[in-house]
Amino acid sequence: MEQRSRAGDKWDPDQYARFSSERAKPFFDLLSLVEPCPGGNVTDLGCGTGELTARLHEHTRATTTIGIDNSVAMLAKAIPRAGNGLRFELGDISRFAARNEYDVVFANASLQWVPNHPELLRRLAAGLRTAGQIAVQVPANGDHPSHALADEVAKQTPFVDHLGMAGETVNPVCAPERYSQLLKEIGFSNQHVRLQVYGHELDTTAAVVEWTKGTTLLRFQNLLPPQVFDNFLERYRERVIEVLGSKSPYFYTFKRILIWGRLAEDDGPAGSSGDSHGLPERA
């Protein structure tokens, strides 16, 4: 699920779940790249409501899977799913600092909220044991009108008066080829990186607004007074329909990058000790 570090805790599990089947497709594509690690330790960074984390736990056959999220509302839905080695913790994934602790570090549609991906991937890799796997999926749809128009409206009065520089989008997502190069530099001997377009048939063009209300627009909702955000939402809806047209159904294309890598059997990530036999450490 998409991490809360920039959106505060405005996340609404019910709003997010309105498109749960569409959002789950990239998760299962990413999961298919992960090789089981029976008896291992797994972490899911940005676990959301935990339903998909439970599927990750089953797939890997891990002894322990820890889902981490910083939304209390999301974790309230996740915690009842805990048990049989699966548990959930409140935490900020941008501060992940494990060392030689996990066999799989998994992050599905969460790292786009965290800056500096080259440095971030190195920290995630440092949390892996020998032959550990990293599996990441990030949205790459910032150039679609559904996202670009939100930034356009944020620069308009009166919204910019409340948002200021905080309304500026700084997209940390890299190009697919950059992620491939980073995996090689860090020490992943095997890798799979691809850009994939997911097509979603929504009831109407206006449903795009309902989609982004569950994710992208949260950073504005977190900063704007309620009435001002309502006005923001209305102006954004008008622009979306103006640019995309009023269609029923509306075919919504969404680009995502899927990233998987496995460290070599006898080598750790570049810059790490490579020692997978000591006690786990946290920086």
Residue 271 CB partners (closer than 8 Å, separation 6+) = 122, 126, 186
Concatenating the DSSP letter of every residue in 79-116 gives GGG-BTTEEEEE--GGG--EES-EEEEEEES-GGGSS-
Cα→Cα distances 264→39, 53, 88, 109, 260, Å: 19, 26, 29, 26, 13
- pTM to 2 decimal places: 0.87
Q: How far apart are CA 169 and CA 131, in angstroms?
A: 36
What pLDDT, on the 0 to 100 scale, is given for residue 240? 98
Q: Do 173 and 117 meet the contact criterion of CB atoms below 8 Å apart? A: yes
For the chain (283 residues), the mean pLDDT of every run of 10, in chain order, is: 44 65 92 98 96 98 97 94 97 95 97 95 98 97 95 94 76 96 97 97 95 90 94 97 97 97 76 35 25
Q: Which CATH architecture has domain 13-141+171-201+253-270?
A: 3-Layer(aba) Sandwich (3.40)
**Annotated domain spans of the chain:** 13-141+171-201+253-270
